[in-house]
Structure 1
């Protein structure tokens, strides 16, 4: 076999640099993939970091909001508790008011039920009881004899209109009490009070001339008429000189007679104090008149009369009239002995209670009879 044919059948030789180039491309692919993966991992980490920062800010904001809400809730809770307490208090008050109104409604209902069962006689007896209460109040508290007498007489007239024979003991006692009041001397408290007011006004009108002054009895100066006659009898310069000496001595020396009591002199301040003192004494007497206190009334008028005698001139016309008025007022009795007029009221109360009991028993009897009739009908 020729050599050329055997050489022609051998494969072609492969170059070494082509084989090496063909083996590097997977490495580049792996490198690119690793780089892409690193970039993706870095981007993902960056996003996670941003998310973490946002989450941290959100948590901080939530904590601050939570604290603010806690504070607000604390304040709101206290306010709500106060409002609830106020509402509970108001609710309790409303409950008490409703309970009171309910009791009042029940009471009114009972009164109306009782009023419907009353007769004309019951109404007249109730009116007489009211008049007797008024009479006792006028006499015992106000000490008004005239008003108490008028109330007793009106009550007797009302009882006379009733057809109840059980009021005979009440009217009998009323007759005794009316007679006892008529036997008393009525005290005109209004008149006494007005007279004392007039006396106080007269005290305010007193002037300085009404006070004890240097013209009081037992007081005189040395310049009297006898000395002037003796001076005129002496002739010449000696008489004139003597007259001048006596005039000078009369202005310096004062002679008083001690055979009569001497009243003290008053200054303007003392005179004002005296008037005020008299006014207070008479106002005390007015208070005693209104209260019906005889001892206080007499003591006040006695002190006022003594003050007038000690500090004022009895020859003054106003003082004379004032003293006479006080003497007349001191004779009045402002606290007469009052009788007891409560017995008639007690008798009438007993009669009203008896009629009420009889009415209840009659009503119960009627109800029992009605029940029995219903039972028979059934």
Structure 2
């Protein structure tokens, strides 16, 4: 029993020990589990917190990246806009450069054309100035003979103009004779042919029966002065202005001599009344203004005839004289001596020719205008005899006295 009891006590003791050890171990394992669980929770919370932090940081970084990207995109757009503007400015600059190049070429072309024109004008002006200087030098180097030749050319030119425009043969002959005298005084041997032609022209004009235009014009002026004294055919009021004034009566020497008031009144009445016999009917009495108008018409016809005479219009000249003759016959007293005298003078003037064909006197002027050619011909004519004379002298032939070429008789 002791042994069995001891074994049973020992088993109980071991069981108690085992049961005592088991709670201790389960408590420790629980604390370890709690600790591990707590650690896991802590790690989970920390991980979650870290994850949240990482997410927040990631979101912040993402927002920053998005803003940076937007800034980069904005900058890119600005760069693209600047590049397009630069391209536009470059094209505009190219266009402006081409326009400037075109304008420069156009301006250079205009400058070149203007320079050419200015140079041409300068050359022309230089040429004209040179010719003017040479002409002035020639004028200064002219001798007295050259001046006489130039004066003769001027006189011949005036003579030609006067002959064909006015027809004054006497003035033309005077000018031609003066020109011939100047050519003679010049002593130039080249004018010999000119003087020959001039002598023929002067002789032709002298044999020409030219009308005296100046004399006919003077006769017409004298005739116009007689118009105021011609009596009219129709009676007219007013005292004639052409009648000479009567001398005043001398003072009576005594009371019985002299005229009374009645005699003076009769004398004045006689001055106002003119008795004239005529076969033509008198149907009106003219006023003084009408009488003066009739005289003015006759004066106008005579003046028109004189103007036609000076112009050389023979048809108009004779037509106006015939009209004046008809007017004189119709409105003035045909029985008056003054009327008959004026009618006779008008008829004589109407019979005078006032225009005849004039000869050509331009040959001498043409030759004188080519005086240089005549001088060359005279010089050649003078050189040729000198050469012939020298040839005869070298051959031993006797030579006579040489007569100067172009000598005038």
Relative to the length of structure 2, the TM-score reads 0.50
Contact 2:190-2:375 within 8 A present in 1 as well: no
Mapping for residues 4-15 of structure 1, pairs under 5 Å: 13=36, 14-15=38-39
User: 1:272: Cα distance to partner?
Assistant: 9.7
Q: In the alignment, which residue of structure 1 is the partner of 2:217?
A: 192
Per the alignment, residue 137 of structure 1 pairs with: 161
- Between stretches 344-353 and 188-197, larger displacement belongs to 188-197
1:216-255 deviation digits (Å, cap 9, x = unpaired): xxxxxxxxxxxxxxxxxxxxxxxxxxxxxxxxxxxxxxxx
Alpha-carbon distance between aligned partners in 2 of 1:104 and 1:144, rounded to the nearest angstrom: 40
Equivalent residue for 1:300, pick from 308, 317, 320:
320
SS in 2 for 1:335: coil
Select the residue among 2, 21, 27 that pairs with 2:52: 27
Instruction: Work out whether residues 192 and 329 of structure 1, in 8 Å CA contact, stay in contact via their aligned partners in 2.
Output: no
Q: Unaligned 5+ residue runs, structure 1?
A: 216-258, 364-378
Does the 8 Å contact 2:169/2:205 carry over to 1?
Answer: yes
> Unaligned 5+ residue runs, structure 2?
1-19, 238-277, 384-409
The alpha carbon displacement at 1:38 in A equals: 2.7
Task: Label 1:40 to 1:289 Cα distance change in 2 as closer, same or farther (>3 A).
Answer: farther
- Deviation track 1:33-84 (CA, whole Å, cap 9, x = no partner) reads 324533663586489679969998xx99x99xx99xx9xxx9xx99xx9x99
User: CA-to-partner distance for each residue in 1:303-331, whole Å, 9 max, x for gaps?
Assistant: 12212322445578997786576456446
In 1, the alpha carbon distance for the partners of 2:118 and 2:226 equals 61
Where does residue 362 of structure 2 map in the other structure? 342
Which TM-score applies when normalising by structure 1? 0.53
Structure 2 counterpart of 1:159: 183
Measured in 2, the distance between the counterparts of 1:332 and 1:31 equals 144
Partner residue in 2 for 1:252? none
Q: Deviations over 1:154-188 (max 9, x none)?
A: 21221221223454454355445445545656735
Q: Is the 8 A contact 2:325 2:343 kept in 1?
A: yes
In 1, Cα distance between the equivalents of 2:356 and 2:138? 43
Secondary structure at the residue paired with 1:15? helix
Structure 1 distance, partners of 2:291, 2:61, is 128
For 1:190 and 1:91, locate their aligned partners in 2 and report how far apart those are by CA, in whole Å. Answer: 65
- Aligned residue in 1 for 2:329: 309
C-alpha displacement at 1:30, in angstroms? Answer: 2.7
CA distance in 2, matches of 1:96, 1:185: 55
- Equivalent in the alignment of 1:290: 310
- Within the candidate set 136, 150, 159, 2:174 is matched to 150
Indicate how the Cα distance of structure 1 residues 155 and 39 shifts in structure 2: closer, same or farther if over 3 A, else same: same
CA distance in 2, matches of 1:92, 1:321: 79
Please say which structure displays the higher CA radius of gyration: 2
Whole-Å Cα distance in 1 between the matches of residues 47 and 381 of structure 2?
Answer: 136
Return the offset for 1:23. Answer: 0.6
Query: Does the C-alpha gap of structure 1 residues 358 and 273 become closer, same or farther in structure 2, counting only changes over 3 Å?
Result: same
CA distance in 1, matches of 2:108, 2:283: 80
Q: Point out the more displaced range, 151-160 or 120-129.
A: 120-129
Which residue is equivalent to 2:257?
Answer: none
SS across alignment from 1:143: coil
Partners of 2:381 and 2:65 lie apart in 1 by 111
Aligned residue number for residue 222 of structure 1: none
Question: Shift of the alpha carbon at 1:22?
Answer: 1.0
Match of 2:256 in 1: none
- The change in CA–CA distance for 1:285 and 1:361 in structure 2 (over 3 A counts) is same
CA distance, structure 2, for counterparts of residue 197 and residue 92 of structure 1: 69
Q: Deviations over 1:316-363 (max 9, x none)?
A: 899778657645644655335644433433554566422135559999
Aligned to 2:361, what secondary structure does the other structure show? Answer: coil
Question: CA 1:315–1:261 in 2, change beyond 3 Å: closer, same or farther?
Answer: closer
Per the alignment, do residues 96 and 341 of structure 1 end up closer, same or farther by CA in structure 2, a change over 3 Å counting?
A: same
Residues 1:103 and 1:31: Cα distance change in structure 2 (over 3 Å): same
